[in-house]
Amino acid sequence: MKSAPFIRITAVIILLTALGGGQLFAQFDHPDKCTVVIAGKKATTDGSVITTHTSDCGLCDWTWRYVPAADHKPGSKRKIYWFNQFSTNPPEKGLLWDNIDDNYSGLSIPQAEHTYGFLHGMFGYMNDNQVAIGESTIGCRSEMENQTPTPKLDITMLTHLAMERGETARQTIQFIGDLATTYGYGHTDTGEMLAIADKNEAWIFEIMPVGPLWTPETGQPGAIWCARRVPDDHVSVCPNESRIGEIDLKKKDYFMASENVMSYAVDHGYWDPASGEPFNWKKAYSPSNYSARSSNGSRGRMWRFFDLVAPSQQFSDTLNNMEFPFSVKPDNKVSVADVIHLLKDKFEGTPYYTARGLQGGPFENPNRLPYGFTYKDEQYNTGRCIGVNRAEYVTITQCRDWLPDHIGGLVWIGFGAQDTHCMMPFYAGVTEIPKSFTQGDHWTFDRKSARWAFDYVDFHTQVVYSHAIKTVREAQDKWEGGAIARTPEIDAKAAKLYKNNPAAARAYLTEYCSNNANLVIDAWWELGDRLLVEYNHLWHYDIENRKREALTYPDWWLKELIEYNGLKPAKDGGH
């Protein structure tokens, strides 16, 4: 994700870089980003196709909705709205989604006779056909941006339309790609990536605007897009960087693209066929020049992912991110539990560990200085890990071909930061979600909002992180681990009901998911209360034994304290 101010700043810096003869993105990393992990069905332990989305914003709308399936009269129209990724409404105005007429783009398109039900937060995530989506902003060349009112589609709107009409991943890609080229893509969005999956395949879809001068009257496509399929036995990642390199449109099982995919690069001087160099999508439209080492970890998620899933290949942290493979066969197949753990990663055991030394402080807190810092007019980067502490929510979607769609589709939702939240399952067949999912914002504490329960725990964890996180992990093991372990049982019971009565199966799944979520939310409010008491006043209050103990501080930190403050040993040994 990117905010409008960042986009303007980026445009200026990239322009200056271009004038200097380079064709690289500005060499700094903006904090508001999202990480997507994708796994093909032969790369997972249970045969599910997996996508993820970490909605790393820090100030965005975190509310969720369930949109039911609907039938529409012939000749009906579907209004197209603009959705700024960074916009929120104050609680008194109501949900962003309930006030969308303020954002009507002026375009209406023919409505489908039937639209599918789906779950959505900031984006659409899963529909009745097990079409699933994850999002990550990847940017594009500044001159390609089109932030005028002319393009009628942005990435949020495209995901909603994908949910309403998507039947398979390929059909969905072609559908939203055609909409974007017809009506124009951009407005507040630049280059974007969507992981689009169904119960058989996972694809990486990337889309770019085509410049501020485009209008429908030009007769040219109003967007440029390309999609590449992740091999079934591979995993891939998008850490806010374009992932599609060389393409071969003759391999229709693995590549799809708009008609202008290469011609636009030729027309604008981004690629010269006479050079002998093969066309490379990301080098043409979203070039960059980073590695984990060169950025001191601020652009280290690419390397970290490949190093975690395929350590046998010994990927170097000096490898330019543009040179990493599109996907890789993991050393071991991944489970949902593995993916949850991966999304919590803080660069542990590497030079970019975000709690290393003074940065983490005496209680090894990995969430300090998440944006780097400036000292004496010099910018210093710190590690930008996968499990960053500004997620609005995190999703993991599973598409499973051995079950009916309403049971096979599964969205795991976790509100707030990965290290202190709890993932909760919601089947594609649910017909409602807890009301607490639809409430709250960053600026008003609200005990009726699910998100605030997790922020409540997170806040109390930050103070004495190395101590408190142990208690949080115990709760996660109980509730996340319990839900994962129960999934086969819930699947089987729902499938049995579905054979004779699909409505009864959906009612069962709705009750199970809502009850589990409400129990988790209650448990997190209680956990926050416990942490407040247990570490009150920076002491340890042993609740079970009703004793108070001093917190322990590491020797390295005490040594630094002695040297920095010039402390001397106490002669009398007293306090």
Do 347 and 427 sit in the same domain of this protein? no
Percentage helix, strand, coil, to 5, in the chain?
35, 20, 45
Do 368 and 284 sit in the same domain of this protein? yes
User: Is residue 389 included in any domain, yes or no?
Assistant: no
Q: How confident is the model at residue 32 (pLDDT cuts 50, 70, 90)?
A: low
User: Is residue 265 included in any domain, yes or no?
Assistant: yes
User: Is residue 174 included in any domain, yes or no?
Assistant: yes
Could you tell me what percent of the chain has a pLDDT over 70? 94
Q: For 405-412, what is the mean pLDDT?
A: 98
Among 23-27, 176-180, 382-386, 546-550, which is the least confidently predicted range? 23-27
Environment class of 412 (CB within 10 Å of its CB; exposed 0-12, middle 13-18, buried 19+): buried
Mean pLDDT of the chain: 93
Do 370 and 408 sit in the same domain of this protein? no
Q: How confident is the model at residue 573 (pLDDT cuts 50, 70, 90)?
A: low
In the predicted structure, residue 13 carries a pLDDT above the cut 60: no
Q: Facing residues of 331 across strands?
A: none
Closest by CA position to 395, among listed 35, 115, 104, 114: 35
d(CA 98, CA 157): 15
User: Is residue 134 included in any domain, yes or no?
Assistant: yes
pLDDT the model gives residue 15: 34
In the predicted structure, residue 10 carries a pLDDT above the cut 50: no
In the predicted structure, residue 318 carries a pLDDT above the cut 80: yes
Do 215 and 295 sit in the same domain of this protein? yes
In the predicted structure, residue 492 carries a pLDDT above the cut 90: yes
Do 203 and 263 sit in the same domain of this protein? yes
pLDDT the model gives residue 575: 62
pLDDT the model gives residue 89: 78
Residue 234 makes CB contacts below 8 A (sequence gap 6+) with 39, 40, 43, 327, 328, 329, 330
Question: Which pairing describes strands 391-399 and 378-380: parallel, antiparallel, or unpaired?
Answer: unpaired
What pLDDT, in 10s, does the model give residues 361-396?
Answer: 999 999 999 888 999 999 999 999 999 999 999 999
pLDDT the model gives residue 99: 81
d(CA 163, CA 124): 6
Helix, strand or coil for residue 163? helix
pLDDT the model gives residue 367: 96
What pLDDT, in 10s, does the model give residues 475-487?
Answer: 999 999 999 999 9
d(CA 291, CA 33): 17
- Say if CB 384 and CB 405 are below 8 A apart: no
Find the domain containing 284 and state its range. Answer: 4-380
What single DSSP character describes residue 277? P
User: Is residue 393 included in any domain, yes or no?
Assistant: no
Q: How far apart are the first and last CA of the chain?
A: 51
Do 470 and 348 sit in the same domain of this protein? no
pLDDT the model gives residue 309: 98
d(CA 172, CA 575): 69
User: Is residue 573 included in any domain, yes or no?
Assistant: no
Do 410 and 271 sit in the same domain of this protein? no
What pLDDT, in 10s, does the model give residues 196-241?
Answer: 999 999 999 999 999 999 999 999 999 999 999 999 999 999 999 9
d(CA 100, CA 80): 10
Q: How confident is the model at residue 69 (pLDDT cuts 50, 70, 90)?
A: very high
User: Is residue 561 included in any domain, yes or no?
Assistant: no
Do 97 and 204 sit in the same domain of this protein? yes
Q: How confident is the model at residue 28 (pLDDT cuts 50, 70, 90)?
A: very low
H or E element that contains 208: strand 202-208
What pLDDT, in 10s, does the model give residues 418-465?
Answer: 999 999 999 999 999 999 999 999 999 999 999 999 999 999 999 999
Do 203 and 96 sit in the same domain of this protein? yes
Q: How confident is the model at residue 4 (pLDDT cuts 50, 70, 90)?
A: very low
Do 376 and 408 sit in the same domain of this protein? no
Environment class of 320 (CB within 10 Å of its CB; exposed 0-12, middle 13-18, buried 19+): middle
pLDDT the model gives residue 574: 61
What pLDDT, in 10s, does the model give residues 90-107?
Answer: 777 877 777 888 899 999
Instruction: Say how many domains are in the chain.
Output: 2
In the predicted structure, residue 177 carries a pLDDT above the cut 80: yes
Do 188 and 331 sit in the same domain of this protein? yes
d(CA 370, CA 384): 7
Do 407 and 350 sit in the same domain of this protein? no
CA distances from 399 to 31, 51, 198, 201, 216 (A): 30, 9, 6, 9, 37
In the predicted structure, residue 494 carries a pLDDT above the cut 70: yes
User: Is residue 394 included in any domain, yes or no?
Assistant: no
